[in-house]
A and B are shown apart, each in its own frame.
Chain A
Amino acid sequence: MATQSSRSAARIMMAPAVFLLLVWMLVPLSLTLILSFKRFLPLRGDRIGERGDGFGDFLLDYITGFPTLDWVGFQNFASFASSGAFADAVVTTLVIVGGVLAVSVIFGILLAMLLDQPMWGQGVVRILVIAPFFVMPTVSALVWKNMFMDPTNGLFSHLWRAFGADPVVWLSDVPMFSLILIISWQWLPFATLILLTAFQSLDSEQLEAAEMDGAGPFARFFFIALPHLSRAITIVILIQTIFLLAVFAEIFVTTGGAFGTRTLTYLIYQRVLESQNIGLGSAGGVYAIILANIVAIFLMRIVGKNLDR
């Protein structure tokens, strides 16, 4: 039984983690929010403070809301949202997220079903299939970009030439397809692994009973297996969406945002660190946070329900 003293001990044990995450969340978030209402172009001479260079001075500026920067109201939000780049970025983001989700969920289900069947060397196949998930994003992007998709020396170009076809310049001719291929290669293993775990908890007696009652393989799949998998599928979709919205390294090392592959994440990165329009980038950041939160709410509901059991 938890006593009064163990409760206060529990609070003390929790304090560091809670405090750190609170600071980690509130400080950057409030900075983004303040800056999104400001005009801040460091390259044109805008400075955060004139008091000095110490961290104490910075804190004072932060608390007083950076008085040296002009307050521009919702102008950053308006110009970020009304720019053509924003609309394009939203479409690109949706295509990439949707494309990778479709590939990883559909092929993930098929692969999980296959891996659940009796076979020789199941453990080894599982390892082969899961491996891409552990490859760091910069490596997988670069290996695909150069060793497979390079138009002169890439493996695909050799293959195309062997069939007498002209090699495809993958990253500029079909950039979205190429990116979806690369990112799907990284995420298909994750979906497969989770769906396989869910498959393995499927009651085989139920399936056998259905089989004896004359249900064909399709009926068994659609009426027994798929409903059983629905929760795992939902979780795969939500978790992957959160990670996919944040895809960065894959674009950074392949196209650098060119050829219409600029996602919302990449657009904000460019506004903030490349063109150094901090106010505009911060407004974009606020949009990205809102977008991610919409997905997060659904995920949290499912995870939360699971906690009650």
Chain B
Amino acid sequence: MARAVTTPRKALNTAIAWTIGILIFFPILWTVLTSFKTEAEAIANPPVFLFFDWTLENYGVVQERSNYMRFLWNSVIIAGGSTILGIIIAVPAAWSMAFVPSKRTKDILLWMLSTKMLPAVGVLYPIYLLCIELGVLDNRYALVVILMLINLPIIVWMLYTYFREIPGEILEAARMDGASLKDELLYVLTPMAVPGIASTLLLNFILAWNEAFWTLNLTSVDAAPLTAFIASYSSPEGLFFAKLSAASTMAIAPILILGWFSQKQLVRGLTFGAVK
């Protein structure tokens, strides 16, 4: 809505919006700032905001004491692996549903969505039991598969809504000009599909990175990703605010950055195309 407004009005809007924005963002800002303080400064009363002796010490301590890199690597494998695997399985499915729709396409899509609504806790024991029986409890590849299955409906849906926007006439035009099926796929469809696949990849990586039910319940030592690592700070280590902040900052920083790129896709992906 590009309506003309007076400058004072615009200034007022700006002031209110920035105040609220900073208030909402404050816990994150405070965490990042605290991660650069000493433990004494972190709990100082009155709190110190910017004028303290900035130090990187906490980051070193967190890595040294808990081998932070191992948890980070587990997160990367689990989130990255499940997303890529999901995309590989979902692309052909979404592709065929978008370009060769049948009477049942809609039913299949809705059914896939319904599997996403299954409450995880309702199948907690069965999955736990299967992991034990298969000998894959606390195994990161098991989590790759489980998180892939959890996000597969969202991946299929997102890809489907993107693919459906590729006009079919373009294919016919290419065919008329003598393009083979291979040419068609390689030079016409793929370039048009890449942005959709990229944003699906991004959003699902974020969702898998932050997933905190299966990663907490199915891991203990070997496969624990960052979600579980941070949860281990819940007592009494968590009372060392500066170290807690350093660990938290490292866990959320990559995702915050990725997240800012994916705002638009977030709406589409999480509302299953119902709000654009």
Contacts and interface: CB of A to CB of B under 8 A. Distances in A.
B25 A131 contact: yes
A177 B17 CA distance: 25
B118 A29 contact: yes
A121 B21 CA distance: 11
B244 interface: yes
Interface string B244-276: 110010011001101110010011001111111
A78 interface: no
B110 interface: yes
Contacts of A161: 45
A2 B98 CA distance: 12
A246 B260 contact: no
B55 to A, nearest CB: 18
A128 interface: yes
Nearest to B27: A143
Nearest to A301: B110
Main secondary structure of the interface of A (DSSP, over half): helix
A144 B27 contact: yes
Given A2-B100, A147-B241, A235 B212 contact: no
A13 interface: yes
A18 B108 contact: yes
Contacts of A128: 21-22, 24-25
A158 B125 contact: no
B239 interface: yes
22 contacts: A10-B100, A10-B102, A13-B96, A17-B92, A20-B152, A27-B126, A114-B20, A119-B10, A120-B10, A128-B22, A131-B25, A135-B252, A136-B209, A138-B216, A139-B248, A147-B30, A153-B45, A194-B275, A272-B125, A273-B125, A285-B125, A292-B117
Nearest to A162: B46
A109 interface: no
A275 B247 CA distance: 31
Main secondary structure of the interface of B (DSSP, over half): helix
Interface stretch (A69-77, A79-87, A197-205): A197-205
B153 interface: yes
A20 B1 CA distance: 45
A223 B74 CA distance: 51
A156 B230 CA distance: 22
Nearest to B111: A21
A148 B125 contact: no
Contacts of A138: 212, 216, 227-228, 230-231
**Residues of B in contact with A, size category:** 35 or more
B66 to A, nearest CB: 14
B30 A7 contact: no
B231 A253 contact: yes
B114 interface: yes
Residue from A17, A29, A185 whose CB has the most chain B CB atoms within 10 Å? A17
A31 B125 contact: yes
B45 A136 contact: no
Interface string B6-49: 00001101101110111011011011001000000001011100
Interface stretch (B128-136, B183-191, B192-200): B128-136
A130 B24 CA distance: 9
Interface in A114-139: 114-122, 124-139
B127 A134 contact: no
B78 interface: no
A278 B10 CA distance: 60
B119 A265 contact: yes
Interface in B108-124: 108-110, 112-115, 117-124
Given A136-B255, A281-B124, 20 more contacts: A7-B100, A10-B100, A17-B90, A28-B127, A131-B256, A133-B266, A134-B252, A136-B230, A139-B230, A139-B248, A153-B45, A190-B270, A193-B266, A232-B275, A248-B216, A253-B231, A288-B122, A292-B117, A306-B274, A307-B110
A135 B245 CA distance: 13
A217 B121 CA distance: 46
A279 B47 CA distance: 51
A80 B11 CA distance: 58
A35 B125 CA distance: 9
Nearest to A146: B238
Contacts of B142: none
A27 B241 contact: no
Nearest to B267: A197
Contacts of A147: 27, 30-31, 34, 241, 244-245
Given A21-B112, A31-B125, A303-B272, A242 B117 contact: yes
